[in-house]
Structure 1
Amino acid sequence: MFDRLEDLLIRFEEIMGELGEPTVTNNQERFRALMKEQSDLTPLVEAYREYKKSRQDIEDSLAMLEEESDEDMREMLKEELNASKKRVEELEERLKILLLPKDPNDDKNVIVEIRAGAGGDEAALFAAQMYRLYVHYAESQRWKVETMNVDEIGIGGMKEVNFMITGSGAYSKLKYESGVHRVQRVPETESGGRIHTSTITVAVMPEVEDVDVVIDDKDIRIDVMRASGNGGQCVNTTDSAVRLTHYPTGIVVYSQTEKSQLQNKAKAFALLRAKLYDIEQQKQHDAEAELRRSQIGTGDRSEKIRTYNFPQGRVTDHRIKLTLYKIDDIMNGDIVELLDSLIAADQSMKLAKLNEN
């Protein structure tokens, strides 16, 4: 591990040297690649430098202890020594986590699909609430949200909604949201006060480029039509909506949120590419069953991952057995504690797997 860290430290210094040259911006592609590599390596290099300093502090404290006879000074040196030893242990764990293989999709934007499941109108209302939850969370991260398609019902619910979140590291945080979300509450339409259980499914897919997923023209049917539902005069009176049908998989995607047919077509193709890529990812995970079991957030789409219990004011994530009693904050987009806990649990499981090998 430390040989690798030394190599990465040397590489980091090479990058910093190259970035310091006056001609570095002449080649913008090279400049961007160096900036990204520097950004990726910075947390690791900073932790490794602090680790080396703490190791040196231990050696210095031990050397001074051998020569020091004053008891008060010896006590102070022992305290410093213990603090340095503790810090070294913490940094070793952090370095192991930073050296874990990175998900190649972590830096990508995401396309999120929310579908109402069991529960009729109540499920559609919850789907709309979850859409707003993710929009508020994205805004708190200074990410951009673009709605691609939405199938609304008259009472403010959504049978289905697709949207893109653009922001650095969006997939690394939101990939843990894929799965079945269950809500338990008394619907407004329920006169008897009985608690109903409804479900929605959330799929979080990385945005992929043309080079990642190649779509053959002969496999696609493109239909254009007038948009339906809520929309401005221009949206509903021109053939701007686009529907794509992918024959090999039977996937149908629809985009109608833009006034321009070209913009809707681009959004529809982005959604289709994400869905096709997601299918391939799922196949790989099924083939690597052991890997899937050792990670959080890469499991089956049908897995029940979380319950939102409104009468008790609690949200429970079943994968890590975490319950938080702040449902109002969470529904307003405050999911940082949930996501941080899932990331920490995922890293711990990967580390444990690594140590087994």
Structure 2
Amino acid sequence: MAAATESAAAIMIDLDELGSRLGEVESYLRLEEKRSRVGELEQMSAAPGFWDDGDRARSLMEELARCRDDVQLVEGAHGRLADARAALELADEMEGEEAAELIAEAAATATALARDIDEMELSSWFTGEFDHGDAIVTIKPGQGGLEAQDWTFMLFKMYMKYCARRGWKVTINDCPAAEVIGIDRATITVQGKDAFGMLRAEAGVHRLVRISPTDDKKRRQTTFAGVEVIPVLPDDIDIEIAADDIRVDVYHASGPGGQGVNTTDSAVRITHLPTGIVVTCQNERSQIQNKAACMQILKARLYELELEKREEALDEIRGPKHAIGFGNQIRSYVLYPYQMVKDLRSGVETGNVEAVLDDGDLDPFVVGYHRWATGKAEAAAPASDDIDA
């Protein structure tokens, strides 16, 4: 009985700590403002003529869904926290198996709550304009020749698995097969809650060390690939592109690994002549759809370019830009002579390489990066005394 009492006391301490964290999350998420916004948006959606402007109506309904989700998540967590405390109080009045079951139930609730609050805390760190929206991810081979093209394909598959784990929808805009091994590049659009905020942790150079699968002498090879992450622009941000500033080319679609793809000349390449930006899309079945996808990506890249010009500094959206090669990597994936994946910014590492590359288990690295970046930003912020001074 004494052991059960001690266990219950320890769980109650954990629940108190979770309650404090939940209160901080509620503050970070500005939950009272979101409750008010839910009521406001519900009134707007019920008004006559709301759907006359379809794009605006869809945008507002998406905002309503996000606000409701945040409110329901926090309120649900408060309810589970209260249930767990009630179970412990009830267990204190009982003995034997009944008390043990209630304590076990409270412990399980505390464990699940800790995971959920971790997720809510992560979301609360996303304060950028586009962090809660969708993302466009581009993967390109760097130093390493043919091996880099294979590494690009490995990263592409890793991100596809990661997006599936998160429940995000992925559209493959472009993924042409390389001549010998791997792919020339990949561009995907990722739709889901906090997709851009999460995935911007992946922007940068990724380094792979392994025994070369194409070398008869089985020598160790180091290869690189670069990952670019930019936001899908909301409908209310309009980037004007003059028709004379673009060249549109149509060509035959292709795909990685002999996959069945469209066999008509529907793939589209758009070149923005003033900047030299090139965007290609071949996933859709028609030229019109591929051109529309290309224009969406081109507008996002032009918006990013404009931010760079205005700030005259490193782009906060895309992250630091370096050559895709030695000395610039953000993360290393070592398959030989030992196995390890290590993020060189946050220090997060694991020896379970298979879970990362084959199963897309990237959350520890993504969360670790944002925790590192948030701490770095707080350390760089001036103290309140300095501001007053």
Same fold? TM cut 0.5: yes
Corresponding residue to 1:305 among 312, 330, 354: 330
CA distance in 2, matches of 1:308, 1:322: 12
Corresponding residue to 2:282 among 256, 261, 272: 256
CA distance in 2, matches of 1:257, 1:131: 15
CA distance in 1, matches of 2:123, 2:284: 41
CA distance in 1, matches of 2:348, 2:274: 41
Is 2:359 aligned against 1:338? Answer: no
Secondary structure of 2:214's aligned partner = coil
CA distance in 2, matches of 1:39, 1:105: 18
1:197 aligned partner, one-letter code: T
- Does the CA-based 8 Å contact 1:253-1:272 persist in structure 2? yes
When the two structures are superposed, what TM-score results if normalisation uses the length of structure 2? 0.67
In the TM superposition, what whole-angstrom CA distance separates every residue of 1:91-136 from its partner, at most 9, and x where no partner exists? xxx9999876710111221111111111111111110000000000
In the TM superposition, what whole-angstrom CA distance separates every residue of 1:239-258 from its partner, at most 9, and x where no partner exists? 32222111110112222232
CA distance in 1, matches of 2:130, 2:72: 19
Secondary structure of 2:184's aligned partner = strand
Deviation for aligned residue 1:15: 4.3
Corresponding residue to 1:126 among 129, 138, 151: 151
Is 2:176 aligned against 1:151? Answer: yes
CA distance in 1, matches of 2:174, 2:369: 29
Partner of 2:251: 225
Q: 1:199 to 1:11 in 2, by over 3 A?
A: closer
Corresponding residue to 1:208 among 211, 215, 233: 233
Secondary structure of 1:181's aligned partner = strand
Q: 1:342 to 1:263 in 2, by over 3 A?
A: same
Compare 205-214 and 250-259 and name the one that shifted more.
205-214
Q: 1:95 to 1:354 in 2, by over 3 A?
A: farther
CA distance in 2, matches of 1:193, 1:298: 35
CA distance in 2, matches of 1:219, 1:125: 34
In the TM superposition, what whole-angstrom CA distance separates every residue of 1:304-331 from its partner, at most 9, and x where no partner exists? 2111110111011111222221111100
Secondary structure of 1:151's aligned partner = coil
Corresponding residue to 2:353 among 321, 327, 331: 327
CA distance in 2, matches of 1:163, 1:118: 22
Deviation for aligned residue 1:350: 2.3
1:266 aligned partner, one-letter code: A
Is 2:119 aligned against 1:117? Answer: no
Corresponding residue to 1:105 among 98, 107, 130: 130
Deviation for aligned residue 1:275: 2.0
* Structure 2: gaps (5+ residues): 1-23, 52-56, 83-118, 385-389
CA distance in 2, matches of 1:19, 1:228: 44
- Does the CA-based 8 Å contact 1:285-1:298 persist in structure 2? no
CA distance in 1, matches of 2:306, 2:268: 25
1:320 aligned partner, one-letter code: S
CA distance in 2, matches of 1:204, 1:33: 22
Corresponding residue to 1:195 among 198, 220, 245: 220
In the TM superposition, what whole-angstrom CA distance separates every residue of 1:125-176 from its partner, at most 9, and x where no partner exists? 1100000000000011111111111231244401211111111211011001
Deviation for aligned residue 1:19: 7.1
1:113 aligned partner, one-letter code: T
Deviation for aligned residue 1:25: 6.7
When the two structures are superposed, what TM-score results if normalisation uses the length of structure 1? 0.72
What are the within-5 Å matches in structure 2 for residues 261-300 of structure 1? Answer: 261-283=287-309, 286-287=312-313, 298-300=319-321
Partner of 1:162: 187
**Percent identical residues:** 29
Deviation for aligned residue 1:43: 6.8
1:329 aligned partner, one-letter code: A
